[in-house]
């Protein structure tokens, strides 16, 4: 049965083109790793493709992809923690990867020191510009919990970034 | 640190990621294929909770207004464009033959083509709408007024169009837009004042005269076909789902005047049916008579290993089958392609398309040139 009538495949291609960069950016901000972000974003879109006839009828298909990405980020974090391969993500030491634009920046280090749950609300609020109630729905928590996580995360980020700033100023000129 | 500072720092930090090359879509297909080959990966809980902010509304007898009553206005999304709607003409008389409705509209390659079904001649064509392409079409009751849907980016635009003399198409008027990534199943009421459309998990109706909206939702399922049966009731095929799988298919009749927003309160015309192996019958493509309350339903079912189809007629008043087994071809090829295309306002005559040919049931035989194939009905790219 055909529930919706447009050429589904063409629709998905347009949807994918329009949203891929946004999703990979959001995921990248959450995991602090370019390759991990690309992998998660592609997986989320692949799942959307497999279910496209249904997802295409949602008011906001991109919200579905975003939520899947959030889940995949959590899954990846758990997997890596178990395998002890996620030292950068968990311990705040991003892998040194010259091809990764996120590697070894102060923002990466500051963000990666936050627990993943706080990181997610920070990224969704400050980067994706989502309202609190939508973040709450995405993360499966209450509005109050979102606000609380935001407040704590912001304080920690301020502290981390100002310390990094101070460290930079104290580093003597190598020449 | 101000919020705006943090926002700007984050945006600068991740900006290089936006320039990363986007993998070809074949990469995604391979991932999908690999997961299927593995026997299915873990299912991610789909988010999509349907916000069912629904008003209690009523429809006055004129059928021209959806007025909120005793609650917040309908929250169904969309943009209505005032002053563009025009009423359909008077429907053909109840006893009119199919000859009173010679024009059909078909969407092909993003444009529309009007054809006279008796001569087979193209009465006119209309190019693509601005910034998009026509994707689907529905007919009002007068054989002159049609509503075309066009996909433009992440929204769907509905254009109303009236055919002029000799079926020549006039300029389409934009009457409503809906945020959606693909064109939903939709239907326009016989008097062209109401547009009904499928929403995720339900049905929305917008008055093209006032812009008022209502919506009805259900817990789990999809609307798989829509048709007005008169100006105050919508017949719809409903696929009930569980864990993403279709578990039941029924046809229901939704009266839009009473208050309430529960879609499952709509009366069930056709119950769930399955063969002895548990295979579901597919009741779909409801076609309501413009005068109401008759509804025709195409029923495809798998009996004795052979796919067969019939078109059954129900009365919207009683939910009773008036008659069934309309002597349609009884072969897999025919059955997979059968559907009811047109009926007169009284529901006395019926044009049925089956396996490449169109016949009139209950009326005068006519030599018809209906320029469609089976996917046109399925995809709603054809309206009569």
CB contact under 8 A, B18 and A161: no
Highest mean pLDDT among B133-142, B264-273, B303-312, B337-346: B133-142
Quote the pLDDT of residue A6.
Answer: 36
A-chain residues near B22 (CB < 8 A): 16-17, 20-21
For B71, the enclosing helix (H) or strand (E) is none
- Fold classification of A8-170 is Butyryl-CoA Dehydrogenase, subunit A; domain 3 (1.20.140)
B259 to chain A, closest Cα gap in Å: 24
pLDDT band at A2 (very low <50, low <70, confident <90, very high): very low
Give the residue-averaged pLDDT of A152-163: 85
Each residue's pLDDT tens digit, B145-191: 999 999 877 789 999 999 988 889 988 999 999 988 778 889 999 99
Of A45, A57, A158, the CB nearest to B1: A158
* DSSP letter assigned to residue B101: -
Lowest mean pLDDT among B97-106, B193-202, B324-333: B324-333
A-chain residues near B198 (CB < 8 A): 3-4, 57
Q: How many CA atoms lie within 13 A of B241 on its CB side?
A: 16
Quote the pLDDT of residue B104.
Answer: 92
A148 to chain B, closest Cα gap in Å: 15
ipTM of the complex: 0.76
Using CB atoms and an 8 Å cut-off, which of residues 355-384 of chain B contact chain A? 378-381
Nearest CA in chain A to B21: A21
What is d(CA A162, CA A30) in angstroms, rounded to the nearest whole number? 20
Give the residue-averaged pLDDT of B47-55: 28
Quote the pLDDT of residue A7.
Answer: 44
Work out how many domains chain B is built from and give that number.
1
Lowest mean pLDDT among A12-26, B81-95, B115-129: B81-95
Question: Is pLDDT larger for residue B77 or for residue A137?
Answer: A137
Of B6, B13, B22, the CB nearest to A105: B13
Quote the pLDDT of residue B277.
Answer: 66
Please indicate, yes or no, if residue B310 is contained in any of the structural domains.
yes
Each residue's pLDDT tens digit, B121-135: 888 888 888 878 898
Residue B68: is its pLDDT beyond 60?
no
B-chain residues near A67 (CB < 8 A): 46-47
Quote the pLDDT of residue A45.
Answer: 92
CATH of the domain at B327: 2.120.10.30
A-chain residues near B380 (CB < 8 A): 5
Quote the pLDDT of residue A19.
Answer: 92
Residue A159: is its pLDDT beyond 60?
yes
What is d(CA B9, CA B138) in angstroms, rounded to the nearest whole number? 50
Please provide residue B41's backbone torsions phi and psi, each rounded to the nearest 5 degrees: -85, 175
In the block, residue with structure tokens 């433009």: B152
Each residue's pLDDT tens digit, A64-118: 999 999 988 887 776 555 443 333 333 334 344 455 667 667 888 888 888 888 9
Question: Is pLDDT larger for residue B196 or for residue B61?
Answer: B196
Quote the pLDDT of residue B53.
Answer: 29
Please indicate, yes or no, if residue B29 is contained in any of the structural domains.
no
Relative to beta strand B79-80, strand B103-108 is unpaired
What is d(CA B355, CA B284) in angstroms, rounded to the nearest whole number? 17
B-chain residues near A4 (CB < 8 A): 182-185, 198
Please indicate, yes or no, if residue B51 is contained in any of the structural domains.
no
Give the residue-averaged pLDDT of B22-49: 54
pLDDT band at B340 (very low <50, low <70, confident <90, very high): confident
A-chain residues near B18 (CB < 8 A): 21-22, 24-25
Quote the pLDDT of residue A65.
Answer: 94
Quote the pLDDT of residue B371.
Answer: 80
Nearest CA in chain A to B3: A126
Quote the pLDDT of residue B59.
Answer: 37
Give the residue-averaged pLDDT of B319-328: 56
B90 to chain A, closest Cα gap in Å: 29
CB contact under 8 A, B200 and A18: no
Give the residue numbers spanning the domain of B264: 57-383
Each residue's pLDDT tens digit, B276-286: 666 677 777 78
SS3 B296: strand
CB contact under 8 A, A42 and B200: no
Nearest CA in chain B to A139: B47
Quote the pLDDT of residue A103.
Answer: 65
CB contact under 8 A, A43 and B48: no
Quote the pLDDT of residue A104.
Answer: 63
Average pLDDT, chain A: 76
Cβ neighbors of B202 (< 8 A, separation 6 or more) are B50, B52, B215, B216, B217, B218, B223, B263
Using CB atoms and an 8 Å cut-off, which of residues 280-309 of chain B contact chain A? 282, 284
B249 to chain A, closest Cα gap in Å: 11
Quote the pLDDT of residue A160.
Answer: 81
Question: Is pLDDT larger for residue B339 or for residue B36?
Answer: B339
Highest mean pLDDT among B225-234, B262-271, B295-304: B225-234
Residue B301: is its pLDDT beyond 50?
yes
Relative to beta strand B133-139, strand B245-255 is unpaired
Residue A168: is its pLDDT beyond 80?
no
Q: What is the 3-state secondary structure (H, E, C) of A99-150?
A: CCCCCCCHHHHHHHCCCHHHHHHHHHHHHCCCCHHHHHHHHCCCHHHHHHHH
pLDDT band at B93 (very low <50, low <70, confident <90, very high): low
Neighbour tally for B274: CB within 10 Å: 13
Domain chopping of chain A, boundaries: 8-170
């Amino acid at each position: 049965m055909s529930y919706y009538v447009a050429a589904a495949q063409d629709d998905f291609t347009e949807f994918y083109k329009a949203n891929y960069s946004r999703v990979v950016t959001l995921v990248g901000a959450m995991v602090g790793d370019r390759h991990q972000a690309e992998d998660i974003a592609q997986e989320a879109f692949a799942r959307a493709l497999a279910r496209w006839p249904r997802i295409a009828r949602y008011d906001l298909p991109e919200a579905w992809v975003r939520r899947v990405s959030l889940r995949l980020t959590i899954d990846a974090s758990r997997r890596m923690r178990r395998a002890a391969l996620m030292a950068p993500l968990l311990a705040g030491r991003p892998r040194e990867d010259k091809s990764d634009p996120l590697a070894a920046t102060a923002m990466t280090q500051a963000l990666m020191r936050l627990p993943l749950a706080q990181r997610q609300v920070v990224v969704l609020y400050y980067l994706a510009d989502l309202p609190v109630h939508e973040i709450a729905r995405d993360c499966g928590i209450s509005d109050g919990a979102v606000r609380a996580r935001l407040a704590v995360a912001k304080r920690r980020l301020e502290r981390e970034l100002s310390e990094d700033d101070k460290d930079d100023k104290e580093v003597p000129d190598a020449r | 640190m101000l919020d705006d500072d943090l926002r700007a720092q984050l945006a600068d930090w991740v900006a290089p990621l936006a320039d990363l090359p986007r993998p070809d879509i074949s990469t995604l297909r391979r991932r999908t294929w690999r997961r299927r080959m593995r026997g299915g990966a873990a299912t991610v809980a789909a988010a999509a909770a349907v916000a069912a902010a629904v008003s209690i509304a009523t429809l006055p007898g004129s059928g021209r207004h959806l007025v909120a009553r005793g609650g917040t206005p309908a929250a169904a999304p969309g943009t209505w464009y005032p002053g563009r709607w025009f009423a359909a003409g008077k429907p053909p008389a109840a006893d009119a033959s199919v000859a009173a409705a010679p024009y059909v509209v078909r969407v092909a390659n993003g444009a529309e083509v009007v054809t006279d079904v008796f001569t087979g001649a193209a009465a006119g064509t209309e190019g693509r709408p601005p910034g998009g392409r026509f994707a689907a079409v529905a007919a009002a009751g007068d054989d002159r007024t049609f509503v075309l849907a066009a996909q433009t980016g992440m929204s769907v635009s509905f254009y109303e169009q009236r055919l002029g003399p000799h079926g020549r198409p006039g300029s389409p008027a934009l009457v409503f837009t809906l945020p959606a990534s693909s064109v939903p199943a939709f239907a326009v009421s016989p008097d062209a004042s109401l547009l009904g459309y499928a929403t995720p998990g339900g049905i929305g109706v917008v008055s093209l005269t006032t812009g008022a909206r209502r919506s009805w939702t259900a817990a789990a399922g999809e609307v798989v076909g829509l048709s007005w049966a008169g100006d105050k009731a919508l017949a719809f095929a409903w696929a009930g789902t569980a864990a993403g799988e279709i578990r039941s298919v029924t046809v229901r009749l939704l009266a839009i005047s009473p208050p309430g927003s529960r879609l499952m309160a709509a009366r069930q015309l056709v119950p769930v049916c399955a063969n002895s192996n548990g295979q579901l019958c597919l009741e779909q493509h409801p076609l309501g008579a413009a005068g109401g309350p008759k509804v025709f339903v195409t029923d495809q079912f798998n009996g004795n290993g052979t796919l067969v189809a019939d078109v059954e007629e129900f009365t919207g008043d009683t939910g009773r089958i008036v008659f069934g087994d309309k002597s349609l071809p009884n072969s897999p090829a025919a059955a997979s392609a059968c559907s009811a295309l047109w009926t007169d306002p009284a529901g006395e005559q019926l044009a049925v398309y089956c396996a490449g040919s169109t016949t009139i049931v209950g009326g005068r035989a006519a030599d018809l040139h209906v320029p469609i194939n089976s996917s046109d009905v399925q995809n709603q790219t054809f309206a009569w």
